[in-house]
Amino acid sequence: MNDARGRLAVVAITSKFRNAMLVFAFACSTLAGAAWAQGELRFCLRSEPKTFDPLKVEDDASVAIRYLTGGVLVRLSRQTQVLEPELAQSWKVSKDGRQITFKLRSGILFSDGTPFSAEDVAYTVQQLMDPALHSATGDAFRTGPGNVETEVVSPTQISITFPAPVAGLDRQFDQVAMLSAHSPKKEMAVLGPFMVADYKPGATVLLKRNPNYWKSDAQGHKLPYLDSIRLDIQPNRDVEMLRFKRGEIDLINSLDSEYFDKLQATSPQAAHDAGPSLDSEQMWFNEVGRSPLPTYKKNWFRSANFRRAISDAINRDDLARVVFRGHAQPAVGPVSPANKFWFNPKLKVEPYSPDAALKSLQSDGFRLENGVLKDKDGNAVVFSLITNSGNKYRERMATMIQEDLQKIGIHMNVVTLDFPSLIERMTQTFDYEAILLGLTNVGLDPSEQMNVWLSSSDNHQWNPSEKAPETAWEAEIDRLMREQASSADAKKRKQSFDRVQEIAVEQAPFIYLVNRNALSAVAANVQGAAPVILVPQTYWNVERLSVK
């Protein structure tokens, strides 16, 4: 079993003594907590939370509340990207990747005073895997037909067996907040640092410190330090920024580069650039065989040489420098370098080279005539790039790409469409030539990208729902993705996914442009903040934050 880092020493005490000790410890910790509890943290949710049930969470606002209130068995450190023990002291995954055994901490209470044990873990897992619940969190564990079996070995030990191997099984538990099997308060009884105290729909969610939270700091002070957190529901980013400047809120989790620069100019200590995030901006061509495009265009878009030439002709440095004001990095491939474990370090950024692009195109029979690129049949290379209207960064990127491609004789029309129309063309009618969109990655594990890479998937954007892989390289990616998903050996999985990344760069079905930096704002009165690239960037260590 994995040894828990920084765990508390467990003192063996008799069961008679235990209750008295717990009462005493609780009294002490409450006093200590009261002495150290500091203020109220305020920040904005950009939408209404759709649920407070941690198992039903899908939207960002509910994810934020789950993070602040839910207790998990293991936690992926947002800072080190390493899995750390929480409610579980240690854990072990079986070699076949189907079973996980947790050793739990003892003496932990839910916010309402109900004791936490292996029974609660079994109850949570059974609830999570109930098909009637339609839990998005549960879907990550659903890799094969059959039921999940839970075996409560003792009050502090539980084994969970899945019908099929689950890739990155232990990491998936980072998203599973434990429920109480016995509490009358149901999901409102929590194990996290805060609990929901008040909710005014459309206005605020008020969280109060959980008096039974089990963690203490190195000096023995009860965590969390904060008394409460006020989450104001505010979808407008301009208003959010204005309120931050007025001192009405203390954090902004993600900022765009223009606001960031303005904030840095006035309050440099409040603006934080944590470096490249997992998010990427990318474009791709329509390779769908049944699309209504003329055959000669289909042939262009299905040629790896053509796609790579476009990739070579785009000046990514300029995109990062100009569009994102330097708060982005030229993208290397499908995985951001910010993903410390899964990024393939052999891959390098494609250098900007219109000459190399023209050479690639010439090998496919294209030729430049009076500044116009023509294919071997004399068709001028003209295509349109769609992006969603209202996104100024994408519109600017598209305009810059337009000028870059003009240099190799390609005429590209920039089209901005409202999002529903864009999605309809992308997924229903396939009536488009190229699309520029962004991908927001929240997970580190490649198994979370299965729906993009498998050729049979609906989200295999350049050519969705293929009955059988239409190219040899797509078949190879299918094989490698399935291989990594069915293995519990991290090294083998890494090898497989490294190769997927190499193929993706060689074949360029997606032309990766930039990885945006994780930009955030933290007011000077917030103590202990150390923004990171992973969500939630600013309050990942919320239990150790305080407000002066």
**By the rule CB under 8 A, 318 interacts with another protein:** yes
**By the rule CB under 8 A, 396 interacts with another protein:** yes
Judged by CB under 8 A, the stretch of 69-77, 183-191, 393-401, 439-447 that binds another protein is 393-401
Q: Report the residue from 161, 267, 399, 541 that binds another protein according to the rule CB under 8 A.
A: 399
Of the two residues 204 and 389, which places its CB atom closer to another protein in the complex?
A: 389
Q: Distances in Å between the alpha carbon of 49 and those of 62, 175, 199, 201, 534?
A: 5, 17, 10, 9, 20
Judged by CB under 8 A, the stretch of 15-23, 109-117, 301-309, 317-325 that binds another protein is 317-325
Nearest-angstrom CA–CA distance, 429 and 421? 10
**By the rule CB under 8 A, 238 interacts with another protein:** yes
Burial of 319 per CB tally in 10 Å (0-12, 13-18, 19+): buried
Cβ of residue 529: shortest distance to another protein, in angstroms? 24
Of the two residues 314 and 415, which places its CB atom closer to another protein in the complex?
A: 415
Number of residues assigned to the chain: 548
**By the rule CB under 8 A, 259 interacts with another protein:** yes
Cβ-proximal residues to 391 (8 Å cutoff; 6+ apart), any chain: none
**By the rule CB under 8 A, 146 interacts with another protein:** no
Q: Distances in Å between the alpha carbon of 448 and those of 48, 64, 377, 452?
A: 25, 19, 42, 9
**By the rule CB under 8 A, 322 interacts with another protein:** yes
Of the two residues 422 and 477, which places its CB atom closer to another protein in the complex?
A: 422
**By the rule CB under 8 A, 83 interacts with another protein:** no
**By the rule CB under 8 A, 157 interacts with another protein:** no
Q: Report the residue from 402, 471, 527, 541 that binds another protein according to the rule CB under 8 A.
A: 402
**By the rule CB under 8 A, 400 interacts with another protein:** yes
What is the Cα 82 distance to its own chain's centre?
15
CB atoms within 10 A of CB 297: 18
Q: Determine contact, residues 159/100, Cβ cutoff 8 Å.
A: yes
Of the two residues 255 and 338, which places its CB atom closer to another protein in the complex?
A: 255
Cβ-proximal residues to 2 (8 Å cutoff; 6+ apart), any chain: 85, 90, 91, 92
What is the Cα 161 distance to its own chain's centre?
26
Q: Report the residue from 96, 139, 403, 458 that binds another protein according to the rule CB under 8 A.
A: 403
* DSSP codes, 350-400: PPP-HHHHHHHHHHTT-EEETTEEE-TTS-B-EEEEEEETT-HHHHHHHHH
Angle of helix 490-507 relative to helix 472-485, nearest 10 degrees? 160
**By the rule CB under 8 A, 13 interacts with another protein:** no
**By the rule CB under 8 A, 94 interacts with another protein:** no
Q: Report the residue from 413, 451, 465, 525 that binds another protein according to the rule CB under 8 A.
A: 413
**By the rule CB under 8 A, 442 interacts with another protein:** no
What residue spans of 373-529 are helical by DSSP H? 392-406, 419-424, 450-453, 472-485, 490-507
**By the rule CB under 8 A, 326 interacts with another protein:** no
Judged by CB under 8 A, the stretch of 15-23, 141-149, 179-187, 316-324 that binds another protein is 316-324
Cβ of residue 260: shortest distance to another protein, in angstroms? 12
Q: Report the residue from 198, 369, 418, 506 that binds another protein according to the rule CB under 8 A.
A: 418
Cβ of residue 222: shortest distance to another protein, in angstroms? 41
**By the rule CB under 8 A, 57 interacts with another protein:** no
Nearest-angstrom CA–CA distance, 546 and 548? 7
Nearest-angstrom CA–CA distance, 446 and 235? 31
**By the rule CB under 8 A, 489 interacts with another protein:** no
Strands 382-388 and 434-439: parallel
**By the rule CB under 8 A, 323 interacts with another protein:** yes
What's the number of CA atoms in the CB half-sphere (13 Å) around residue 55?
A: 22
Of the two residues 108 and 415, which places its CB atom closer to another protein in the complex?
A: 415
Rg (CA), the chain: 26
**By the rule CB under 8 A, 410 interacts with another protein:** no
- In 3-state terms, what secondary structure has residue 525? coil
Give residues 328-387 in contact with another protein (rule: CB under 8 A): 382-384, 386
**By the rule CB under 8 A, 432 interacts with another protein:** yes
Residue numbers at the binding site for another protein (CB under 8 A) = 238, 242, 258-259, 262, 318, 321-323, 382-384, 386, 389-392, 395-396, 398-400, 402-403, 413-418, 421, 424, 431-433
